[in-house]
Structure 1
Amino acid sequence: MNVLAGNYIAEPPTSRKYPIINDFSRKDQIGFLDFRESSGLDKVHLSARYESYSYKGKLEMADDCNSVKNYITGKNNYNRMHEESNEDFIHEIMDLFNLGHLQSKWISSLSNGQMRRARIAKALMDKPKLLLIDDPFLGLDPVSTLSVSNSLRVVAQELDTCVVLGLRIQDEIPDWVNHLAFVTENGTEILGERKEVEKRIMDISKPIISKHKAHNSHHQSESWVKKEMIEASDPIIEFKNACVAYKGQTVLKNLDWKIQRGSKWRILGNNGTGKTTLLSLITADHPQSWRSVVTINGVTRKTGSGVTYFDVNDKIGISSPELHALVPPRMTMMSIITNGLVRGIGNANFSFKFKEKELGPHAVKLLKHFESEIKKNENKRFHELTVSLQKLTLFLRAVIKSPDILILDEAFSCMDDEELVIKCHEFIKSELGSTTILTIGHLDWEVPETDFTLKLLGDENRGYEYYERIK
């Protein structure tokens, strides 16, 4: 995808051509979005997403340069604030990607899935001839995935834009895609019209697809029963009639949730229903987590209780897209992993190195389990690792501290190496039996085995459903 985007020099220079581009005076005719990388926004602490509401108060967000609409149109750049814009085209694109109702929100307050839709819309503002998107459906719930796919169909068929998607072999190919290219480490192996080459690609990929189907069918064969409430005799986390709202918007409404110590939970919900917000209340990244909305280990968290943000996070391990975006690109794999052992710095601080000479037994066992992956890559810088190894690195960093609570927010999404995903899941099942685990993931096969599910419903009218796995 980087080659197509023109990010690498072609040798010879004439070997790469763009027949569909005929106006070389425009520099914006190729758009490239890589959702495997950071969000595309400034790298800020997760708390900033929620503190923004307090900062903005009652100001009208439509007048703010950091609103969703201004981000998409480029008017969050002060040098472009007075440029003329085609309002009809702006509304067409925003409606196409279901962003019209979000146009006045502060851009950093969007959920991960909403942010990805906004980035696609922003890329289309310049009306590129070629739009390249690597992992376009990463982090999207099933409803949003279908919606974005249909929107990209319109872009390809009606807006005179050639769309190229980068997908994993396990991913479903949208039915509107009419050409396929099969790429390996050696380059492009197969290229042509879909009807002519799809079977050849499927034949070559059969071992990978067979393993994926077996792995996926294991998850889909699980049976669940709906419950009024999941009781807990020894809750490590408890929400009692918890409510969180800001700027007139209800995020949590009358949430009752008890999490048994050592239980495994999956948190489900469409983009924007508050999944990451809920986790941020547990990790104390959300300012309102100090307003007696959550109880941890029997102690209600509130200001003046003597418990600090760092005390809270010493007992929590986390892997998330927000943390992924904060990792220093030149930091080595092993330095990142052992950074998880440094206490008193929070989970978002990568500045400190672990200086102890000896690791504890849990850390030694963990590193031994993943020895083959670590030994070959421990001195590689983060930006030199594949996405699968980057995800593994953050997972190991979260687990190595032997946390009481492990949060896996899309921890295994976008991993190409499904065997590595399975290896991580097996370690969780065999070695983390006493750890309380909370998982967010839209694809079943990316989520480790869980005991219970909390499903968040609605956008305006919040609701919650509880499910227990039948063993």
Structure 2
Amino acid sequence: MIIQIQRPITQLPLLSRTLRKYTTSASSAPPILQISNATFYRHHPSSTLSTPTTNPPLFPNLTLSIPSTPTDRYWAIVGRSSTGKTTLLETIGGKHIAIPATAKSYPFLEAIGKTPESAIKRVGFDGEQDVIRGGRGAYLSARYESRREGGDWTVEAYLRGQTEMNPFEDSTKKVDEKLLLLVILEMKLEGLLDLSVTDLSNGQNRRMRIAKALLEQPEVLLLDEPFAGLDPGSVKVFGELFGEMARRQNPRVVLALRTQDEVPTWVTDVIYLKGNCEVDLPWRGRKVHPMYFGNPSEKIMKDYLAHKQAVSSEGMVISRKEGLTVDRYPFDTTKPSIGEALVEMDGAVISYGTRTVLGNWSHKINGQRRKGLYWTLRRGERWGVFGPNGSGKTTLVSLICSDHPKTYSLPIKLFGRSRSASPGNPGLSIFEIQSRIGHSSPEIHHHIPKSLTIRQVLENAWADTPRGIPKLDENAEKRIYAFLQWFRRFLAPQGLGKDVLHSLVWADTTLFGGLSFGAQKLVLFLRALIKSPDIVILDEAFSSMDDHLRNRCLAFLTWGERQQWIFKRPLRPSVRALEGQVVFEGLTDRQALVVISHVKEEVPECVREWICLPDAETGGAARVGRFDGPIEEDGRWEEIWGMRLPFGVDSIESK
């Protein structure tokens, strides 16, 4: 049953008036959470599972309190990848063992008869909790030559908890209809209720997941990297939405942010994390009291911006004297050597019912007005694909990879051939297409088994499916060895001796699922490059990486093993280059690159061509352009996003 929205949101009471069934105005009410000088562990220190390596102390001598009464202080946790942001959120939510045990308590929750598990909800956006995209593993993928599975439910069914394949009548969860309606309106989901969850954009998916958490009426909502993967406009919208929720204290909101994220202006208190789950102020370079609370908002923001600038510029400088960009790509205004077409789209349109998600525009082609996306990708080209969440970027990638079933019927050629067979044309198999494409994306991340080791994930680049048997030869083995050696310090467990680190035995025992999310992103980035495919697709490939690792990956994309890592010094050959042992030389002119990102710093400087897709609901035309230099130059990012009108470029029709 689809909910009927009969009244505009302005005529309905605010969500905050009905969400909480228990309220108190007493200033003496106990806090929701009280942590007093506690140190946390994943296992009890006396357990047989506890060793200094597997069970290090977490947040030593931590003191933290979340009040139950109204307050004008709002928190954010900021840190690089692997510094412990998620672990701290888990600690707030009741996970991990406190020593001494009495140092952590939830007095307010005990008073109202709630447990931390029911009253404190964490919503993560790093793939760990992503049970939405594809439901029970459904994936719009012709790789398995299958249709969507039965678990591909609608937004309303998901909100109602009706996600079982064959639920018993008495097992169906009952939902407070009034609360459901209010949450739907609050999160602006009224127009999406009958859509499949697999058809949602990144931003829509997040709104739905937050709505699901709100339906459980939590006292505290923990949002783990909520801005990762969002376009600039959506970041602003979500930031304001979270601020309104925080000010209402319904629920209380705690954000965990990356160093590259802008801290919303409503945040008053920032907790900085350094490595090994320790609270610190890394921008000051010294230890301080565990909690950085009670400072004026202006000072917080000034300190944070100084910290962010120091981190983002660590070892990375633009050297026009050397002719290099931030990621060590040469300043080059000449057009690269362009080869034959690898992908040709002549009027691609993707619709679900009456809703068009890609190609919802028309323009003149040979004097005639035609609808759809007309776009060609050639060898040697470096394309950036941009646009707001929901504009069809992921759909475009699914057409390139032939993951989308409509690739069969649309006017699309891949590697000069149609996907469908015809007289004289046997058509393309999905296995041939996938063998010529290297792909890192949230969808790939979701489907790589977490039980594979690091080495197995890299070997998987030569397999037909995520669990397929790779077909390895001597060249593949050399590349795997070279890639693991080059990034060993970012992938190997901490505390290994030099001999063990270089032996790479850790790559055969360290599970992909046991890595930090940033390290998982690194492995998938390497998997996309490792066999030098005809097309490399990097879809949000660097989100959740800290700035230092991201810049090293971008340099590796350009130089491979040819140049050393010491960025503050003049560019010089690496030891492997001097010894003639380079296996991977970086991206070549024989390859095409497609990059999708909402963050300028995550776009490789080699990108020259770009297309900005419009919001699918507007019907506006896509805009395309080409730069004669790096994207970092002043004003170019604004041109791409239409923040200023570039000379001679207004839409795809002009090309």
Structure 1 equivalent of residue 435 of structure 2: 314
Partner of 2:251: 161
Corresponding residue SS for 1:270: coil
Is 2:342–2:415's contact at 8 Å kept on the other side of the alignment? yes
Whose Rg is larger?
2
Indicate the residue corresponding to 2:579 in structure 1: none
* Cα distance in 2, alignment partners of residues 100 and 49 from structure 1: 31
SS in 2 for 1:133: strand
From 597, 602, 607, the equivalent of 1:441 is 597
Please report how far the alpha carbon of residue 463 of structure 1 lies from its aligned counterpart in structure 2 after TM superposition: 2.2
Report the CA distance shift for 1:278/1:200 in structure 2 as closer, same or farther (over 3 A): closer
Tell me the SS of whatever aligns to 1:425.
Answer: helix
Give the drift of 1:213. 9.3
**Residue 168 and residue 246 in structure 1: after superposition, are their counterparts in 2 closer, same or farther (change >3 A)?**
closer
Q: Distance in 1 between matches of 2:350 and 2:161?
A: 32
**What is the Cα deviation at residue 85 of structure 1?**
1.5
Cα separation, 1, equivalents of 2:186 and 2:295: 26
For residues 31 and 301 of structure 1, the distance between their equivalents in structure 2, rounded to whole angstroms, comes to: 45
**More deviation, 165-174/18-27:** 18-27
Give the counterpart of 2:126 among 28, 36, 44: 36
Give the RMSD, CA atoms, in angstroms: 3.3
Which residue of 1 is the match for residue 525 of structure 2? 395
Residue matched to 2:550: 421
Q: Distance in 2 between matches of 1:101 and 1:49?
A: 29
The offset of 1:114, in angstroms, is: 1.9
Among 536, 539, 547, the residue aligned to 1:406: 536
> 1:325 — aligned with what?
446
Q: Write 1 or 2 for the structure with the bigger share of helix.
A: 1
Map Cα deviations across residues 114-163 of structure 1 (whole Å, 9 max, x no partner): 21221111111111111111101122111211111111112112252111
Whether the 8 Å CA contact 2:160–2:174 is kept in 1: the answer is no
Partners of 1:3 and 1:49 lie apart in 2 by 41
Letter in 2 for 1:373: F
- CA separation of 1:462/1:308 partners in 2, compared to 1, >3 Å: closer, same or farther? farther
What is the one-letter code of the residue matched to 1:24?
G
Amino acid at match of 1:147: V
Structure-to-structure mapping, 1:174-193, within 5 angstroms = 174-184=264-274, 185-189=276-280, 190-191=290-291, 192-193=293-294
> SS of the residue aligned with 1:148?
helix
Please give the secondary structure, in 1, of the residue aligned with 2:531. coil
The alignment partner of 2:419 has SS state of strand
The structure 2 residue matched to 1:245, chosen from 351, 376, 394, is 351
Partner of 1:23: 112
The corresponding residue for 1:93 is 183
Q: Deviations over 1:211-256 (max 9, x none)?
A: 39968x969xxx9xxxxxxxx7732211112223231222333211
Q: Which secondary structure state, in structure 1, belongs to the residue aligned with residue 383 of structure 2?
A: strand
Counterpart of 2:512? 382
* Secondary structure of residue in 2 paired with 1:102: coil
Q: 1:209 to 1:358 in 2, by over 3 A?
A: closer
Structure 1: stretches of 5+ with no match in the other structure = 58-63, 224-231
Q: When you count strand as a share of all residues, which structure comes out higher?
A: 1
Residue of structure 2 in register with 1:227 after alignment: none
CA distance in 2, matches of 1:124, 1:213: 42
Match of 1:123 in 2: 213
User: Could you report, residue by residue, the CA deviation over 1:334-384 in whole angstroms, capped at 9, with x for unpaired residues?
Assistant: 111122123xx14xx134255545536655654454354356452311122
- Structure-2 change in CA distance of 1:56 and 1:362 (3 Å): closer
What are the Cα deviations for residues 399-434 of structure 1, in whole angstroms up to 9, with x where unaligned? 112110011111111112x22111111122231032
What is the Cα deviation at residue 194 of structure 1?
4.6
Aligned mates of 1:105, 1:277 — CA distance in 2: 16
- Give aligned-pair identity as a percent: 29
The whole-number CA distance in structure 1 between the counterparts of 2:542 and 2:152 is 34
Give the alignment of 1:171-210 within 5 angstroms. Answer: 171-184=261-274, 185-189=276-280, 190-191=290-291, 192-195=293-296, 198=300, 207-210=310-313
Distance in 2 between residues matched to 1:120 and 1:50, nearest whole Å: 31
What is the match of residue 623 of structure 2? 465
Query: Are the equivalent residues in 2 in contact too, given 1:181–1:188 (CA < 8 A)?
Result: yes
Partner residue, 1:228? none
Partner of 2:158: 71
TM-score, L = length of structure 1: 0.85
Distance change (3 Å), C-alpha of 1:239 and 1:116: same
Deviation at residue 437 of structure 1 after TM alignment: 0.8
Is the alpha carbon distance of 1:364 and 1:334 closer, same or farther for their aligned partners in structure 2, counting shifts above 3 Å? closer
Q: Is the alpha carbon distance of 1:20 and 1:164 closer, same or farther for their aligned partners in structure 2, counting shifts above 3 Å?
A: farther
Partner residue in 2 for 1:258: 376
Q: CA deviation at 1:303?
A: 4.0
CA distance in 1: counterparts of 2:414 and 2:474, whole angstroms: 32
Alpha-carbon distance between aligned partners in 1 of 2:404 and 2:205, rounded to the nearest angstrom: 19
**2:23 alignment counterpart:** none
Equivalent of 1:275 in 393, 407, 413? 393
When residues 94 and 147 of structure 1 are mapped into structure 2, their CA distance, relative to the original with a 3 A threshold, is farther
Evaluate the alpha carbon distance shift between residue 440 and residue 204 of structure 1 in structure 2; reply closer, same or farther with a 3 A threshold. Answer: closer
> How many residue pairs were aligned?
449
Aligned to 1:47: 140
Aligned equivalents of 1:282, 1:427: Cα separation in 2: 24
- 1:180 aligned counterpart, secondary structure: strand
The 8 Å contact of residues 246 and 253 in structure 2, kept in 1 or not, is answered as yes
2:406 to 288, 308, 317: 288
In the aligned structure 1, how far is the partner of 2:400 from the partner of 2:312? Answer: 37
Distance 1:353 1:150 in 2: 47
Report the 3-state secondary structure (helix = DSSP H, G, I; strand = E; otherwise coil) of the residue aligned with 2:613: strand
1:18-52 deviations in Å (ceiling 9; x for gaps): 3553323455211011212332234525316999x
Higher relative contact order (CA 8 A, sep 6+): 1
CA contact 2:345–2:411 (8 Å) conserved in 1:
yes
Counterpart CA distance in 1 for 2:402 and 2:307 is 48
Question: Aligned with 1:397: secondary structure?
Answer: helix
Q: What is the alpha-carbon distance in structure 1 between the residues aligned to residue 375 and residue 308 of structure 2?
A: 43
Q: CA deviation at 1:287?
A: 0.6
Residue 438 of structure 2 contacts residue 536 of structure 2 at CA under 8 Å; is this kept in 1?
yes
Q: 1:469 to 1:407 in 2, by over 3 A?
A: same
Q: TM-score scaled to structure 2, two decimals?
A: 0.63
Structure 1 position 340 matched with structure 2 position 431: no
